[in-house]
Structure 1
Amino acid sequence: MKYFDYAATCPLDRDAADIYLKASTDYFGNSQSLHEAGSAAANLLESCRQEFSRLLEVEEAGVYFTSGGSEANYLGIIALLSAKTKKGNHLITGAAEHSSVYNLMKKLEAEGWEVTYLPLEKDGLIKVESFIHAVRPDTVLVSIQHGNPEIGTLQPVKTIATHCRQKGILIHTDCVQTFGKIPLDSLARSVDALSISGHKFYGPKGTGVAYVHPKLAWKPYIVGTVHEKGFRPGTVNVPGIAAMTAAAQKAYSRILTDQARLQTLRTALLHALAEINGSFVIFGADREKQLPGIVGMSLHGLEGQMVMLECNRWGFAISTGTACHTGMLTPAKSMVAMGIKGKEAKGFFRISFGRDTVEEDVIELGKVLTLIASKTKTVSLQADL
């Protein structure tokens, strides 16, 4: 099986796996325990915290380890709400946010909060003017995803954050798809909270990071929690965090070379689809506002699920959207947020490249998609005759 679903999850990096094993056997103590084994684990944990602080160029005191991106999103937003700096009950978010944010917003609505969901333009971007228009005197928090996991667009989070600062609004951003793929230091310094997930950059599953600016006096979600300074309960996964840190270091060391390689693969796919030009749509933005490794697209007249199953039959693993959305009958959130409806919306599928993707496989996938589209066109013409 040739894997083209890196936006869903990545294989564990071999070096990170070795560190996980070593940390599991040599640093097995509970980081809260006061004996020598506990202190060794605590020291390793704090060195990992320092490293993420360095990579993001944020204050170490604001770095908290979580069980993944979804928990980091949830707890990060809840922490900001507990530390809001002005009165109000209005929140702003994107209409295509990850389910961990979208479902939390729906929960907050049921509790009496008012939420505005910003749509995406045809290029998959939130219009800054639309955001500014949505801001009200009682707006207290904004949560906008940095990188869209379905079509790979990069939202103008820094520009939105600047406006939030001027209005005394707290801002959270979901950086699960962008950490380790593009530099985040200046963005991280411009927001009040952000979230990342280890398995998106070749770290182990079940690991993540939430950053909440230490200037904010947030309250623990569960009263009495002692782990991670009260941010979350449960014994800290020190081996997983050590492995995630190693994966993050490697991802950061190769950001520029990986960006160039992924752009080459994206171009190769487009060239491979030249034969059916006009029979497909690729959703997204201009190059500087787009993650090159995520290609959200559709073949005219075909359901995305059928394309995915056909590709699977040919030995290619692609997807019809985020893994958290799989199995639902509703179209991908990005399609709905862009105003694309009905059969056209259900035609969406996603291809995503990664570290082990080679150009030959990309070209072969392009040929398979061409074959699928051509067969369908032939059947359609025969039906018309």
Structure 2
Amino acid sequence: MQSNGEEQNLVYMDHAATTYTDSDVVKAMLPYFTEYFGNPSSPYTIANESETAIEKARKKVANAINARTDRIFFTSGGTESDNWAIKGISFANKNKGNHIITTAIEHHAVLHPCEWLEKQGFDVTYLPVDKFGLVDVEDVKDAITDHTILITVMLANNEIGTIEPIKEIGEVARKNGIYFHTDAVQAIGQVPVDVEDMNIDLLTLSGHKFYGPKGTGALYIKKGVKIDNFMHGGAQEKQCRAGTENVPGIVGLGKAIEIATRDIENHAKRMQSLRDRLINELLEIPNTHLCGHPTKRLPNNVNIVFEYIEGESILLLLDSYSIAASTGSACTSASLEPSHVLIGCGMPHEIAHGSLRLSLGKENTDEDVDYVLSVVPTIIERLRSMSPMASKK
């Protein structure tokens, strides 16, 4: 996105928060709003069209993560899928135990259900991470007890982009007869995901993170997993998730994941090239730090902390230059507290407040990166000139 000579067009670098809906996805969805509008549970032809479309989408999602088609269940998004996985496993298996293992830097769609379950009599271990946001597999092993029924660790962190050792954690869970769930919301479309190779029993994904429509998602549940239903009512989704299906949304989700995973290696290479340029040049600004692992990170994620200033101030000034970014998770942007992820990585509160997350997408260009790199140093210098903390240094 380049300037038209008079006014700078929007440079959008907040794809970890949400993406636009791809035009091919919208095109695929449109007939199911007006032409093929039948209720999939009805017996006549127009309803059969809806049912067929759902099953085609289910197959596309399954193919994208190397899963069995009949083990994909459509939901309203990542939050519902996380809640279903965690609460469903916990209550269905409470006769075996009441212990859950997770990490301190999970998305709140995982942390808050775990905190709620503690009030229902479950025990939860929140594992620490190192300064890069990596959980130690040995810590997972050491946390297991005779009462452990679930391990839930995100595949890639939504704020700092660190990719966790999911395959190894899944192997530990499998050897110990414990269910393993991963929130893969940020990973789909960025890195290859294979539920069989990674020893995953349950996986969460969300359509609006990879150019699909908002309000769509899915939960993969491996065959044989004992899990309670999250919603009760009709017999939809094999009697596991009640409610008339969002046919256009499901069609869009299927099309979006098909596109997002079609040429994932070349996409990742291009994103990584842009990412590394941003990281390397932003780190030339004095008193800055990279958040997350330098190499074990999503190809589109940049998270830099600038000492002595507030992240919210950076965002406001970036917006005045038509650059959209984030200080961390969009789901917690209204909070005045520093990122729990950065705090979990051992960063002091006063420094964690100054984080900037730039998350790249397929429409971003070298020109976008050039523009951001021309603007950010000026903003940082301006804010530090007004900062009482910087003046003391």
Q: Common fold, TM-score beyond 0.5?
A: yes
Whether 1:334 and 2:357 are equivalent positions in the alignment is: no
Partner of 1:95: 104
Counterpart contact for 1:125–1:155, Cα < 8 Å: yes
Identity %: 35
Q: Name the aligned partner's letter for residue 354 of structure 2.
A: G
Counterpart contact for 1:179–1:196, Cα < 8 Å: yes
**Which region of structure 1 is more displaced relative to structure 2, 141-150 or 303-312?**
303-312
Q: What is the CA deviation profile of residues 342-375 of structure 1, one whole-angstrom value per residue up to 9, with x for unaligned ones?
A: 2112112211110111111112212222112223
Partner of 1:366: 373
Q: What is the CA deviation profile of residues 20-50 of structure 1, one whole-angstrom value per residue up to 9, with x for unaligned ones?
A: 1122223211111112221121111112112
Counterpart contact for 2:60–2:255, Cα < 8 Å: no
Partner of 2:253: 244
Change (3 A) 1:186 1:66: closer
Partner of 1:28: 37
The count of aligned residue pairs is 383
Q: Name the aligned partner's letter for residue 280 of structure 1.
A: T
Counterpart contact for 1:94–1:118, Cα < 8 Å: yes
Partner of 1:264: 273
- The 5 Å alignment of 1:1-385 reads 1-84=10-93, 87-186=96-195, 190-273=199-282, 275-276=284-285, 278-287=286-295, 289-378=296-385
Counterpart contact for 2:279–2:302, Cα < 8 Å: no
Change (3 A) 1:378 1:326: closer
Counterpart contact for 2:104–2:126, Cα < 8 Å: yes
Change (3 A) 1:82 1:378: closer
Counterpart contact for 2:17–2:209, Cα < 8 Å: yes
More helix by share: 1
SS in 1 for 2:30: helix
Cα drift, residue 315 of structure 1: 1.5
Report the RMSD for the aligned CA atoms in angstroms. 2.0
Superposition TM-score, scaled by structure 2 size: 0.92
Q: What is the CA deviation profile of residues 96-150 of structure 1, one whole-angstrom value per residue up to 9, with x for unaligned ones?
A: 1111111100110010100011122101111112211211121111111111000
Structure 2 unaligned spans of 5+? 1-9
Counterpart contact for 2:86–2:114, Cα < 8 Å: no
**Which region of structure 1 is more displaced relative to structure 2, 75-84 or 64-73?**
75-84
Superposition TM-score, scaled by structure 1 size: 0.94
Counterpart contact for 1:204–1:240, Cα < 8 Å: yes
